[in-house]
Chains A and B, each alone.
Chain A
């Protein structure tokens, strides 16, 4: 299964991305390796890290940035990756498309890269895994994969505030702001 590994492969950071604070300038004009070194960890309590926290390590699930299987984004927009919150725009994003949320419950999907996990919440041993998977089944609900806003129409704040006048946090005095 392709897993987006949170850690970068090696420091310094390659800096290929573009940030966004509206001006369009790039944060990554220089490789980001010039940050201050963190202080040496105070590990005096002797709780060893069984796995090194960070740093270069093998990535069992392949490289990052490859497109998701089964999911295709219409091309991320720089600076405002979200649909922007405009009414109706939700349906244009992959999030709103049926192929994402119409997933049938119970359908098994094998991981394309099927690599075994090296560190998982599951224990070792098949019997234990089977017991745990039965328990996990009781936690999972197919609705977790469905669109929670399906069927909801946007409600205007203007309509509601007319009904519920005490939504205002101001005391009514103009210009007076308690924060």
Chain B
């Protein structure tokens, strides 16, 4: 079947569907499925808009609300994961996935579904080491810290996904798995995005959590977005079994939805013609969800997942045949995802804007139904209970997580560069003031981004040298003033790029583990070096 894949949507649903329709006309035929790799921005109303971590100038209602209300309908089944620009309060209502509109399905914090026999998994959010080992403690109304941490990937989701044993056909992540760039035309990538060079050479660009999942799942296809560039890679995994040939993953990252950009790709993927023509739950995933229900953590305290180290009575939560049969019984042998979308929030009305719309921490009826059927806990219910009875569930670590900072346990991902400042001109900076400090663009290679063409340079690219020595800015001071609208600790993307060619301010230091345990509130402001060369790219300028 024909599957369309989209990069960062940024709420441009109309444009994506229109382009998809045109691609169908120009291509071999209709598309059966659209997969969107995050920054979907399922904004229903003004309150949702406030929960989106973008600077004010990017805070637009866009077009999703028309699909939510039923005024428009997605012309093709759409499945998406969350990124770092989302209506976080809306997605939070659906931690296990659910419909955000008719024909548009959110996979949840992590999820696996099946469509026409194709097994599709995904993980939402982006990786930030300082939040990785926390529970899901955030709830609306968010503050300047939780509006960001809400979309940071958590260890529990990776842990659940790593319990999967059956083959995965397609997997989605918003940010790239770390190291994936070594498996494609890296040279071409760095021509287009030269500011990635340092991180690519240091192997720090991308998510280590996603990389771990890529290594474990070895899906046939992996799709990502986030970095606003089209990049293809072909990775051959190590063979587990001598008898079986090694698996390979075709990776594709796509650009954001703008004119003349590579934000959409149509791909032919084999499917099972006898499989149901509707979206289905995945039985192995449901079984894992049920098994790991006890592992729910709604505090901001750092924790580690169970392992076989003598401290845990159970560390294997993989789905047994017996457990899967039990779950199937619970679902009455019906794995069809119910069509139970309903409008539960006020929908934006352009003729009657509501600037004072209240933010509510909602319980979604879809999640209620799903949890009841499977016999698991709605994270939001647990959160609300904990809010009412904080003495029972521990303090609500919205901001200050002092004791966890002193735990002394490092993040296992000790190559996280999340605290480093970014010079990616494509990045939508959270803080508009920070953006305005930048001079006009000097690096505008993004303006006329060519399609990433594979070439014979691929082989020669791997001889590129790299440094074991981390290069850190001359001064990195993070401010404690971390409120919205004011200069803040850099939110940015994981493994943010450092500008190459301006090494005069760089200080080479041995690989240094960053203090990842500090809450953003306790961080000092990152002082940017070479501010003059920083670009302030207005997305509108990219639309050539």
Interface residues of A (CB under 8 A from B): 1-4, 6-8, 13, 15-23, 27-30, 32-36, 38-39, 41-43, 45, 47-51, 53-54, 64-65, 68-71, 73-87, 90, 93-95, 99-101, 103, 105-109, 111, 117, 119-122, 132-133, 135-145, 148-160, 163-164, 166-167, 169-171, 175-179
Contacts and interface: CB of A to CB of B under 8 A. Distances in A.
A47 B343 contact: yes
Given A51-B102, A74-B270, A171-B414, 18 more contacts: A4-B32, A7-B339, A35-B334, A35-B373, A47-B347, A68-B28, A73-B273, A85-B247, A119-B73, A120-B75, A121-B14, A139-B263, A141-B451, A151-B455, A152-B184, A164-B182, A176-B309, A178-B305
Given A32-B336, A70-B29, A152-B234, A22 B166 contact: yes
B278 A149 contact: no
B280 interface: yes
Contacts of A132: 18
A21 B166 contact: yes
B167 A82 contact: yes
12 contacts: A6-B278, A8-B278, A35-B373, A39-B368, A50-B69, A82-B169, A109-B28, A119-B75, A122-B18, A143-B262, A155-B183, A164-B179
B332 interface: yes
B220 A83 contact: yes
Chain B, interface size: which category? 35 or more
A144 B2 CA distance: 12
Given A70-B28, A87-B246, A120-B75, A166 B333 contact: no
Contacts of A29: 333
A100 to B, nearest CB: 5
A148 B230 contact: yes
B19 interface: yes
A90 B269 CA distance: 10
B29 A2 contact: yes
Contacts of B261: 139
Contacts of A30: 333
How would you classify the secondary structure of chain A's contact residues: helix, strand, loop or mixed?
Answer: loop
Interface stretch (B52-60, B189-197, B211-219, B519-527): B211-219
B29 A69 contact: yes
Interface string B448-488: 00011111001100100010100000000000000000000
B27 A76 contact: no
B155 interface: yes
Given A71-B29, A119-B72, A155 B118 contact: no
Nearest to B349: A47
A36 B220 CA distance: 34
A105 B28 CA distance: 11
Contact of A54 (B102, B170, B372): B102
A36 B24 CA distance: 37
Given A3-B30, A19-B275, A85-B249, A178 B365 contact: no
A140 B275 CA distance: 32
Contact of A77 (B185, B270, B331): B270
Interface in B323-365: 324, 328, 331-336, 338-347, 365
Choose among A22, A133, A139 the residue with the greatest number of B CB atoms under 10 Å from its CB. Answer: A139
Given A35-B334, A95-B267, A42 B365 contact: yes
Nearest to B17: A121
B221 A82 contact: yes
B162 interface: yes
Contacts of A101: 268
B234 A153 contact: yes
B411 A21 contact: no
Contacts of B234: 149, 152-155
B433 interface: no
Contacts of B182: 155, 160, 163-164
B234 to A, nearest CB: 4
Contacts of B321: 23
